[in-house]
Structure 1
Amino acid sequence: MEKHVVVIFPHPDDESFGAAGTIAKFREEGVRVTYLCGTLGEMGRNMGNPIIANRESVPEIRKKELINACKVLDIELKLLGYRDKMLEFEDRKEVASHLKEELEQLHPTLVITHYPGYAVHPDHNALGAATIEAVGMMEEQVRPEVWAQAISDNSFAMLGEPQIKVDIANYFDKKMAAILAHETQAKGILGNFKEHSTIAKDLSEAAQERLGKEEFYVWDF
């Protein structure tokens, strides 16, 4: 059984859309979970539907949404302070050193992050790569396992079957509650899922179709 899981993603809502079911399962088992969130997602295009934010107010609103989502999931939160859409331009070794310091303080047994090169968004790929570099820099005897989440369309063809498949059926309602805590993002993203679905009748079905399973690759160091 894991003792402490640290989730490292770049944006508010990445934890909810990507791994909330897995997080909820760990919390039900009594496992401590900490989210290291890279940015405030301040350059995101979604401002709510109806609109509740503007370019000036969105950072603080997304921060509050993130705090609310973490309360829903009952997890600890630490903001890393990077700038949205700029992570790919940060010095990777500096980011990795920063993350290594954080991880050495938290002593995780498992780290969850994005699979670099297969995570669609440049911030996802950059922070995923820095996270894996950070864990690789740790002493082997204290090095946590890494689960990397690949979300690009070609990930299965290129990487094969994920080793970790988490059944989140019992936690899907919790996942949806966490997603909906991100008010500026939820309806726009869920609506996009429905728009591109040929079978979903409503947002709930579209969410279930796209988000009803969580799978991870175990990183081989």
Structure 2
Amino acid sequence: MSVEKHVVVILPHPDDESFGSAGSIANFRSQGIPVTYLCGTLGEMGRNMGTPPFANRETLPLIRKQELQNACQVLDMKLQMLGYRDKTIEFEDRMEIAKHLKGILDEIEPSLVITHYPGYAVHPDHNALGAAAIKAVELMEVEKRPVVWTQAFARGFKDDLGEPDVVNDVLDLFEKKMEAILCHDSQAGGIIGQLKDYKKLGNDVLQQAKEQFGTETFYTWNFDN
């Protein structure tokens, strides 16, 4: 994994950071590299309210914010909220968001930005904020631009994009990643719900989780195309 000066993660929702890149973040922090998460929204329009439900439409934003703060504490990274509304980023002026992000990046001067690959990240907020983050870096002076890692997970993305050029084995940080993921209790479901007591579960379930979360892959964005 690369040695960086400062890493900035730009994603739209609480929990995006944990599911997608917690292992890489933890690895950077283990090297003493600062990591800052610019989180787009509070995820206030999310459909999951806990299992069994313990949130409602009014309380969900505060709950998800606290879950995010807990995950950032686990990962030992700085958090900055961008203040956008969940499920509306695609309707915002993309250039205005890009300029907003550029102002923050100009202050932090990161060497690496992690975001979503526009068009290949399923959720409209993922695609829109990823596109704005890339535009923000594109607006920077060439010699000051950080490298950008983009994450894709839409069905069949490799058919269009090929194999990711960045493959981070984070299996040795599995427990740290799981701790961050499980901070987002309101959103835990499926295999994640099963893994709340993962240390007590059988090897089959644990192996399935390690296969799912033990590797994090990214595409380095090419600004020349």
The TM-score with structure 1 as length reference comes to: 0.93
Q: Please state how far the C-alpha of 1:205 moved relative to its aligned partner.
A: 4.1
Q: Which residue of 2 aligns with 1:150?
A: 152
Deviation at residue 75 of structure 1 after TM alignment:
0.2
User: 1:216–1:100: structure 2 CA closer, same or farther, 3 Å change rule?
Assistant: same
Cα distance, 1:204 vs structure 2: 3.9
Aligned to 2:56: 54
Structure 1 unaligned regions, length at least 5:
194-199
Q: Indicate conservation of the 8 Å contact 1:48/1:188, yes or no.
A: no
TM-score (norm 2): 0.91
Is 1:7 the counterpart of 2:21? The answer is: no
Q: Find out whether 1:107 has 2:109 as its counterpart.
A: yes
Equivalent residue runs for 1:192-207 within 5 Å: 204-207=206-209
Aligned to 1:196: none
Amino acid at match of 2:31: E
Which of the residues 57, 66, 80 maps onto 1:64?
66
Query: Partner residue of 1:133?
Result: 135
One-letter amino acid matched to 1:26: F
* Aligned with 1:77 (options 73, 76, 79): 79
**Structure 1 vs Structure 2: percent identity of aligned residues?**
62
Mapped to 1, the partners of 2:207 and 2:65 lie a distance apart of 28
What does residue 22 of structure 1 align with? 24
Amino acid at match of 2:139: M
Q: Does 1:92 align with 2:94?
A: yes
| Matched residue, 2:123 | 121
Equivalent pairs counted in the alignment come to 215
Structure 2 residues not aligned, in runs of 5+: 196-201
CA RMSD of aligned residues (A): 1.7
Contact 2:89 2:128 in 1 (8 A): yes
Partner amino acid, structure 1, of 2:164? P
C-alpha distance after superposition, 1:107-153 (max 9, x if no partner): 10000000000000000000000000000000011110000001112
What is the aligned partner in structure 2 of residue 197 from structure 1? none
Partners of 2:43 and 2:64 within 8 A in 1: yes
Runs of 4+ in 1 over 3 A off after TM superposition: 200-206
d(CA) in 2 for partners of 1:201, 1:43: 35
Q: Are 1:46 and 1:188, in contact at CA under 8 Å, matched by a contact in 2? A: no
Corresponding residue number in structure 1 for 2:213: 211
